[in-house]
Structure 1
């Protein structure tokens, strides 16, 4: 029997990339939240090296670039996103210090202790929170920072429907205190954690998808995979609206010991 709800990872990568390439953001967030997280990072200079892992098309990266000095490398698995990323950098005339490259966040091209800051909004789940933090730590200088947003439970108990959805989609989801403990266990001093407001999901992520979904469905009329993918996106939005009191994204900022 076919599962009623698929995980996004069960769909064709090229289909996912094309759909999200039509959106400014590939996940929940906002410029205000990026700037707030950045406010906890100290000591950045024009010599600082920053990496944005799972950068997508670079919406948050360009906010980083406008609000901090240093050179930024964006890394994403999808070349389509990186093309858009580099075009944005050129349009903003910051291509001399902001560059996107295709690659995997679990096979980084940096030298040990090369980076001052590792950034990742809504993407560390691809390799797992603890695994990502532990691996990425190798590339941070002593005193360097990591800043990631991650799906987290707000409560210790949840309705069975949303519990089952997340256990299927991302079993690594956990409560905020447990995530902070994982950050500390991975060799960081926890500096800050804060919940992303609802507008990061609704205004900046779900609302912009309405038009994109209609365009996508029209382009792929009769394509079951495309129709199933859009149905999946709409189902996720419905679940968020129903259960947003129980989960959301949380920014976690840590400093390497």
Structure 2
């Protein structure tokens, strides 16, 4: 069995959903990091409208709901994830403040300049970093914020093994200075940038993923596609452990400006 030339997009959506549905988060992150990023947002009130795009099962959405004023809409393409988020909201008696809806990042159901804050942890890659920045901008009010975490290179050069893995998995991955330049070019003023600490990968992502993997493999025993998907996830963890000094997730917080500070395409 070889996953040498596979990316996550090569696997069936139902396998991706089943694997990650039991996890609090579907990517690296932590409640502490969500709150740190939220601390750079200064324009929120009880009337604010917030959208968490690619919210998954709502790990970070619920942190926002508990600490940010305003109303939060969590959006994800997987109906099962949205059911889980809405159940969490009801259990926390926050159903009047946070609501999950099924939708796609490339066809957002919001009006232009409706949102005060767009949030997306580890999910903007689904549409592409530059494309997401450009297309989502119109939904923000003047002075509105965007806060996204995105995989980024820490160095200009890196070993071929990890470089080739990410070129196949996500060719748009770029270095931090280039990411900040893209934010500026897309019509935002960069406000803050920080690297997610290692425990966002280990304690909050890989450890829960081990438990999810056991449940997943038991459910799909003998299913070659499921075994390949599980092996792909394990390979990603090994590569991170080996090459974590070369890449990781970075939080970018930026503010919509008028007119553009740079030339947006």
Query: In which range does the TM-score fall when normalised by the shorter chain?
Result: over 0.9
What is residue 93 of structure 1 aligned with on the other side?
Answer: 93
Q: Structure 1: where are the runs of 5+ without partners?
A: none
The alignment status of 1:135 with 2:135, answered yes or no, reads yes
Mark the CA change 1:31 to 1:3 in structure 2 (over 3 Å): closer, same or farther: closer
The alignment status of 1:163 with 2:163, answered yes or no, reads yes
Tell me the number of residue pairs that the alignment of Structure 1 and Structure 2 aligns: 257
Q: Cα deviations across residues 106-128 of structure 1 (Å, max 9, x unaligned)?
A: 10011100000000000001111
SS at match of 2:201: helix
Deviation at 1:4, TM superposition (A): 2.3
Quote the Cα distance in structure 2 between the aligned partners of 1:208 and 1:82.
20
What is residue 53 of structure 1 aligned with on the other side?
Answer: 53
Quote the Cα distance in structure 1 between the aligned partners of 2:212 and 2:30.
19
Quote the Cα distance in structure 1 between the aligned partners of 2:114 and 2:170.
30
Q: Retained in 2: the 8 A contact 1:47–1:70? A: yes
Quote the Cα distance in structure 1 between the aligned partners of 2:22 and 2:65.
22
The root-mean-square deviation of aligned C-alpha atoms, in Å, is: 1.1
What is residue 180 of structure 2 aligned with on the other side?
Answer: 180
TM-score by length of 1: 0.98
> 4+ runs of 1 displaced by more than 3 Å?
none
SS at match of 1:133: helix
Q: Retained in 1: the 8 A contact 2:5–2:168? A: no
SS at match of 1:138: helix
Deviation at 1:212, TM superposition (A): 1.6
What is residue 192 of structure 1 aligned with on the other side?
Answer: 192
Q: Structure 2: where are the runs of 5+ without partners?
A: 258-265
Deviation at 1:3, TM superposition (A): 5.5
Matches within 5 A, 1:98-109: 98-109=98-109
Q: Retained in 2: the 8 A contact 1:5–1:232? A: no
SS at match of 1:44: coil
Q: Cα deviations across residues 160-193 of structure 1 (Å, max 9, x unaligned)?
A: 0000000000011000000000000000000000
SS at match of 1:29: coil
TM-score by length of 2: 0.95
Deviation at 1:202, TM superposition (A): 0.5
SS at match of 1:27: coil
SS at match of 1:73: strand
The alignment status of 1:40 with 2:44, answered yes or no, reads no
